[in-house]
Amino acid sequence: MGYVIQGETGDWELVIGLEVHAQVTSKSKLFSGAATSFGAEPNTEVSLVDAAMPGMLPVINEYCVEQAIRTGLGLKAQINKTSVFARKNYFYADLPQGYQISQYDQPIVGEGTIILDMKDGSTRTIGIERLHLEQDAGKSLHDQHPQKSFIDLNRAGTALMEIVSKPDMRSPEEAAAYVTKLRSILRYLGTCDGNMAEGSMRCDINVSVRKAGEPYRTRAEIKNVNSIRFMFQAIEYEARRQIDIYEEGGEVVQETRLYDATKGETRSMRSKENAHDYRYFPDPDLLPLVLSDEEIASIKSTLPELPDEKKERFMRDYQLNAYDAGVLVADQESAHFFESVAKGRDPKLAANWVMGDFFGALNRLGKEISDPPVTAANLGALVDLIADNTLSGRLAKEVFELMVETGKAPGDIVEEKGLRQVTDTGAIEASIAEVLAANPDKVAEYRSGKDKLFGFFVGQVMKATAGKANPALVNEILKKQLG
Ligand code: MN
């Protein structure tokens, strides 16, 4: 069982840990009042603090601290009542301070857990090592001038939460499920918008390989992967690269690598620094961050129902299986939509319609659930028409498509188009009699043992009734008359 990679010398196991940089949802930066809107004109959201003018002092943004605590609580993690900001020193062209204000040995959040929902409905628990607050750097622009690089400092000083997992993941699927679940939790909490394309969530992936039962071997870190698809490719490429090195008698070196999406490979960026290379020391401009139990409790009292609790409730109250419940709670809007449809109705039927035809229509039309092609009220009314036998499943699909096209209520469409299913036993019996009379040879074949012909008769009756006969009744009466 489990995910293994076959090599010349036997099976290899993957070991993956993730460091996710999540941009804190906040109107202003971590240590300044400058704005943080995405896509603003270059260098229009830069305060003197962000530009590191001499003598400027950072002032902690209380809201960003609250957001980090909220995230820690959402990850069921230890909140550290005292944490310390430290300077991480390195030269970076788009970081004018010459150091990043981060947290080192005393982060604001300690150990926690994330529960992964796997495709087969099973779960896996992954450890969180820590979450710390730090500032982002600016951005170098190399494509604006043939000889010069420009710098945009809008992002410099923006608050990031660096969320570090334990090396608990064993397959690319688990790494993908981790990022998906983390993003879902952050969005529920409102602490990060999780937009990977805009860089609000960036993943550094630590990958190593080993033979089953061995201690961990040397890892390589793949920097700044910004989509789940690239994550998959980068992990698979990197694992294979390391296995090939070991099997040829070499050693993997600890280093930072980049994933090149066009070539589909990772390549060395720099040999990995160790913590001491950064000369961390407590930032003398900032006092230790001290939290009270009351502050933590008051933030805790504002937490929404999170995906795991919602999933449990959906399984309990709506009798949904783990997979369906997991899909429906992945974002708050879908969960809310489902609950509106399911209220007072058969929840399994509601779930099938939301996850089947409704999600299908969203995908096909490229729409968001915030702007649904069919309202929850109308989808609920459609479920009612199935439950009271006005519509068969087949007719309901037809009505649903017309609802998407016209935006009309299902009841109106049924009346206008005469799509009500025929449940009148007499009418169905008459149709069946006609079909049997028209096909005496087939009837004889069926009676002499050719069971497969049953489907043919059902088809003929449905054709004769323009698809409106109740399929269950057709089956029942046909069996009786042929038997
Ligand atoms: Mn970092």
- Is the confidence at residue 1, as pLDDT, over 70? no
Report, as an integer, the average pLDDT of 398-419: 92
| Contact by Cβ (8 Å): 259, 210 | no
- Is the confidence at residue 350, as pLDDT, over 60? yes
| Contact by Cβ (8 Å): 373, 337 | no
Looking at 254-306, list the stretches that DSSP marks H as alpha helix, in order from N- to C-terminal side. 293-300
Report CA(142)–ligand 1 centroid distance (Å).
23
| Contact by Cβ (8 Å): 223, 257 | yes
Element (H, E) at 18: strand 10-23
What does the DSSP 8-state code read for residue 307?
H
| Span 248-272, pLDDT tens digits | 999 999 999 999 999 999 999 877 6
Higher pLDDT, 478 or 420: 478
pLDDT at 269: 85
Nearest to 199 by CA among 339, 39, 346: 39
Looking at 301-369, list the stretches that DSSP marks H as alpha helix, in order from N- to C-terminal side. 307-318, 322-328, 332-342, 347-353, 359-365
Report CA(31)–ligand 1 centroid distance (Å).
16
| Span 114-131, pLDDT tens digits | 999 998 888 999 999 999
Report CA(264)–ligand 1 centroid distance (Å).
25
SS (H, E, C) 374-435: CCHHHHHHHHHHHHCCCCCHHHHHHHHHHHHHHCCCHHHHHHHHCCCCECCHHHHHHHHHHH
Task: Output the CA–CA distances (angstroms, integers) from residue 153 to 33, 103, 139, 254, in the order listed.
Answer: 14, 22, 6, 31
Report CA(294)–ligand 1 centroid distance (Å).
29
Report CA(55)–ligand 1 centroid distance (Å).
25
pLDDT at 272: 64
Report CA(155)–ligand 1 centroid distance (Å).
14
- Here the tokens at position 440 are 């005496």
pLDDT at 254: 92
In this structure, what is the dihedral angle of CA atoms 221, 227, 233, 236, given to the nearest 10 degrees? 50
**Composition of the chain by helix, strand, coil, percent to 5:** 40, 20, 40
- Return mean pLDDT, the chain: 93
Residues in the chain: 483
User: Domains of the chain, with CATH numbers?
Assistant: 4-299 (no CATH), 307-417 (no CATH), 425-482 (1.10.10.410)
Report CA(19)–ligand 1 centroid distance (Å).
8
Look at residue 269 and give its three-state secondary structure. Answer: strand
Report CA(254)–ligand 1 centroid distance (Å).
18
- Is the confidence at residue 8, as pLDDT, over 80? yes
Q: Which residue has the tokens 């939790």?
A: 185
- Is the confidence at residue 149, as pLDDT, over 90? yes
Report, as an integer, the average pLDDT of 294-301: 97
Provide the percentage of residues in the chain whose pLDDT is more than 70.
99
Task: Output the CA–CA distances (angstroms, integers) from residue 366 to 267, 324, 328, 361, 363, in the order listed.
Answer: 35, 22, 18, 8, 5
| Span 176-206, pLDDT tens digits | 999 999 999 999 999 999 999 889 999 999 9
CB atoms closer than 10 angstroms to residue 22: 25
Q: How many CA atoms lie within 13 A of 75 on its CB side?
A: 33
What does the DSSP 8-state code read for residue 104?
-
- Is the confidence at residue 223, as pLDDT, over 90? yes
Look at residue 30 and give its three-state secondary structure. Answer: coil
In this structure, what is the dihedral angle of CA atoms 394, 397, 398, 402, given to the nearest 10 degrees? 170
pLDDT at 2: 76
CB atoms closer than 10 angstroms to residue 478: 21
Report, as an integer, the average pLDDT of 415-425: 83
Task: Output the CA–CA distances (angstroms, integers) from residue 433 to 438, 461, 465, 480, 482, in the order listed.
Answer: 9, 9, 13, 12, 10
- Here the tokens at position 354 are 């939301």
Report CA(56)–ligand 1 centroid distance (Å).
23
Render the burial of 46-72: b for 16+ CB within 10 Å, e for the rest.
bbebbbbeeebebebbeebbbbbbbbb
- Is the confidence at residue 307, as pLDDT, over 70? yes
Higher pLDDT, 51 or 467: 51
Its pTM stands at 0.88
- Here the tokens at position 373 are 């092609």
Please report which confidence band the pLDDT of residue 83 belongs to, taking 50, 70 and 90 as the band edges.
very high
**Mean pLDDT lowest for which of 99-103, 235-239, 409-413, 443-447?**
443-447
Look at residue 16 and give its three-state secondary structure. Answer: strand
Phi, psi of 411 (to 5 degrees): -60, -40
Report, as an integer, the average pLDDT of 26-36: 97
Cα distance between residue 470 and residue 393, in whole Å: 9
Look at residue 101 and give its three-state secondary structure. Answer: strand
Report CA(199)–ligand 1 centroid distance (Å).
14
Which residues contact residue 408 at a Cβ distance below 8 angstroms, ignoring those fewer than 6 apart? Answer: 402
Report CA(21)–ligand 1 centroid distance (Å).
7
pLDDT at 273: 67
Q: Which residue has the tokens 């993908």?
A: 176
Q: How many CA atoms lie within 13 A of 308 on its CB side?
A: 15
Which residues contact residue 315 at a Cβ distance below 8 angstroms, ignoring those fewer than 6 apart? Answer: 321, 322, 325
- Is the confidence at residue 221, as pLDDT, over 60? yes
Which residues contact residue 147 at a Cβ distance below 8 angstroms, ignoring those fewer than 6 apart? Answer: none
Report CA(288)–ligand 1 centroid distance (Å).
19
